[in-house]
Amino acid sequence: MPLRASRRQSLSERLFSIIEVLGVFLRLGVTSFGGPVAHLGYFHAEFVGRRKWLDEAAYSDIVALCQFLPGPASSQVGIIIGMLRAGLAGGLAAWIGFTLPSALALIGFAYGVGRLGDLSQVAWLHGLKVVAVAVVAQAVWGMARNLCPDRDRATIAVAATLLTLAVPTASGQIGAIAAGGVIGWLFLSGENNGATAPLSIPITRRMAIASLALFAVLLVGLPILANAIPNPTIELISGFYRSGSLVFGGGHVVLPLLQQAFVSPGWIDRDAFLAGYGAAQAVPGPLFSFAAYLGAAMTSEPNGWAGGLICLTAIFLPSFLLVVGALPFWDALRHRTAAQSALKGINATVVGILLGALYTPVWTSAILGPADFGLGLLAFLLLVLWRTPPWLVVILGAFGATLIAMVA
């Protein structure tokens, strides 16, 4: 009886953890405007600052891993956080919670919500972009204090910022991270004095190898299957799976690639694509949710809700397989002395990359005048000194920008 009671308690605890993860990420999926870099800021504030699910070094290590992997880095970070909290089901819950709001909004847009017109000049939406500046600035400030406490790592961070600004592509970011790792390995001490808490990885190495093997089989096999069997659904799955597998740099990179892959063959016309492209910039959550719009808006079947869900699942599936495949090996590697030296350089580089992204595209697309700067400064004050929940700052930022537009 005690054993059965213990098992029931364990099951109830796991279920509670999964529901907890789903609830937290659902709220983030509704309020996390501003694109992938801003999402990392929201995650940092929620899981490092507020909930203490991770320490600073562990979070930065996860961000560094996801920068190396193809696919949407912020979504992958969220999936890993969910898995660390509640196992594989927690990773799935994190993805559903963070992705569902934007996916539903974009599928709805495909059904005709686009009649609302161009949202790019709406005041409240601009306010959300301004708040994203404050969120990213808070994350950069907090991470820099912990991960760049000396002149050596601060210098690495600034060098990474300059490199990513000079080479504003995914190759620039990956090159900066690789260089930071080499510099850290050669010149920085590998002692961390217990600063990095061990991660409880709910994945065995056998499971990781199977996941990587399945990733490769699908990447190679789906195009072969699509050519052998002329089925529109298989072709769609193959195309979106390939897009999610081979794209570095996140949603801003995958959108133009999807245009080449699906407008030219006639899956969707150019005007409908551009309308959805604009809507994808206006919704919270991951930009990869644009796949749900494309699947729903296609002129031929499968389309509608079914097409949207098929395309959404296909483009995110590689992220799951890669994260499950890489995480156990990454966690083992990060505790070795040489790897700790490299990770110090990589973590400093991540801070520099985020600093560069704070300038462009986050700052340059949001701070257009003194009023925007003032609103962003107030948002930063609320987040950093008053410890105001980010979701409330989002609401206040939208309201403030609307008032400014009415007065101006």
Q: Domain locations in the chain?
A: 14-112+122-192+202-408
The pLDDT assigned to 248 comes to 67
Q: Provide the pLDDT for residue 338.
A: 87
Cβ neighbours of residue 205 under 8 Å, at least 6 residues apart? 328, 329
How many CB atoms are located within 10 Å of the residue 19 CB?
13
Give the model's pLDDT for residue 303: 86
Q: Are 101 and 322 in contact (CB under 8 A)?
A: no
Residue 14, pLDDT score: 87
CB atoms < 10 A from the CB of 75, how many? 27
Residue for token pair 């790792």? 181
**How many residues make up the chain in this entry?**
408
Beta-carbon count within 10 A of 179 CB: 17
In 3-state terms, what secondary structure has residue 168? Answer: coil
Q: In the prediction, which pLDDT does 196 show?
A: 57
Rg (CA), the chain: 21
Cα–Cα dist 285/234, whole Å: 27
* Helix and strand counts by DSSP (H, E) for the chain: 17, 0
Ranges of the chain whose pLDDT falls below 70: 1-9, 113-121, 170, 190-198, 248-257, 260, 278
Please give the pLDDT value at position 302: 86
What is the model's pTM?
0.83
For the four alpha carbons of 356, 286, 75 and 220, in that order, the dihedral sign comes to negative
| pLDDT for the residue 147 | 86
The answer to whether 398 and 34 are in contact (CB under 8 A) is no
Q: Look up residue 357 and give its two tokens.
A: 């992204």
Cis peptide before 230 (omega within 30 of 0): no
pLDDT confidence of residue 249: 58
> What's the pLDDT score for residue 28?
95
State residue 174's pLDDT score: 80
**Ramachandran region of residue 81, left (φ > 0), alpha (ψ -120 to 50) or beta?**
alpha
How far apart are alpha carbons 46 and 25 in whole angstroms?
Answer: 10
